[in-house]
Amino acid sequence: MENKVIKEMEIALSRNALIKKYQYLISKIALQFDNISDARHNLEEVGYLGLLNAVNLYDYKIHKVSFKTYAQILITEEMHQYLLNRNRQIDCPDWLQELNEQVNDFVIQYREKHRCFPQISEIASHFNITDSGVPEILKAREALRETCLSFNRETASESEHLKPDLIKIKNRGYQSFKLPIEDVIVLRRAFKKIREIKKEIFYYLFVLDLNQTKVARTLGISSERGKQIKEELLQNLP
């Protein structure tokens, strides 16, 4: 157990050193975006999150480029996506999108107050989640998915490690009158599944014209639950 803690501390120190060494890339890349309406610091803040993703995900065996090059790509893509996403809906689960927006806001506020960027441990502490949970939240960022496609068009299996591991997103400790984040995630995913089941029931009932029993058997739910959802759908039909 002690060796594991020491190893985790060494990894954290190594990551912090990389962040400090290559943080200059953020402002350098932001200067390349000319004629934009957004303030430069907005680009730098999202660029910093691109650097955090680079530090957590870089693997020379996969990316075949230097860390500096990989970091430049992720920082630049994060800035591009920020500008693209201002006026369009991001294809991302609601709860992950909300968490990333909250991380954005925290980085902005932290930088305004301290005149520097927060470390991963400080982000984790602010949201009362474990240090290992922050990288998993950042994996859901649109810019990372776009960059991943450019590196892994031929071998999609190599991008499996880029999928957020939701099990790692946990609270550090209990807070009164507040659900742990892992419970919130389970609930959000359950609500999404309910909505998807309603869509499937609507399709089977009203498009394929299957009877209620067959629909329930197909979806693996009870006939009573199928009947309840059918009645809800009928009530909401125009």
The residue among 167 and 17 whose pLDDT is bigger is 17
Residue 175 in 3-state DSSP? strand
Q: What is the pLDDT of residues 27-46, one digit of tens each?
A: 998 888 766 655 677 888 99
Q: What pLDDT is attached to residue 62?
A: 80
The residue among 181 and 3 whose pLDDT is bigger is 181
The token pair that represents 210 in the structure block: 């299957």
Q: What is the pLDDT of residues 54-77, one digit of tens each?
A: 998 888 888 788 899 888 888 888
Q: What is the pLDDT of residues 205-223, one digit of tens each?
A: 655 666 777 777 766 777 7
CA distance 44 to 1: 38
Average pLDDT of the chain to the nearest whole number: 75
Crossing angle, helix 40-57 and helix 94-114, to 10 degrees? 110
Is the pLDDT confidence value at 177 over 60? no
Cα–Cα distances in angstroms (integers) from residue 72 to residues 20, 193, 234, in the given order: 14, 37, 53
Q: What pLDDT is attached to residue 220?
A: 72
Q: What pLDDT is attached to residue 228?
A: 76
Q: What pLDDT is attached to residue 88?
A: 47
CB of 52 closer than 8 Å to CB of 6: no
Is the pLDDT confidence value at 87 over 60? no
Residue 224: pLDDT band (50, 70, 90) is confident
* pTM for the full predicted model: 0.54
Is the pLDDT confidence value at 19 over 70? yes
Q: What pLDDT is attached to residue 90?
A: 44
CB of 100 closer than 8 Å to CB of 17: no
Is the pLDDT confidence value at 51 over 80? yes
Residue 156: pLDDT band (50, 70, 90) is very low
Contacts of 118 (CB under 8 A, 6+ apart): 106, 107, 110, 111, 126
Q: What is the pLDDT of residues 118-149, one digit of tens each?
A: 998 899 889 888 888 888 888 888 777 666 65
Q: What pLDDT is attached to residue 132?
A: 85
Is the pLDDT confidence value at 203 over 90? no
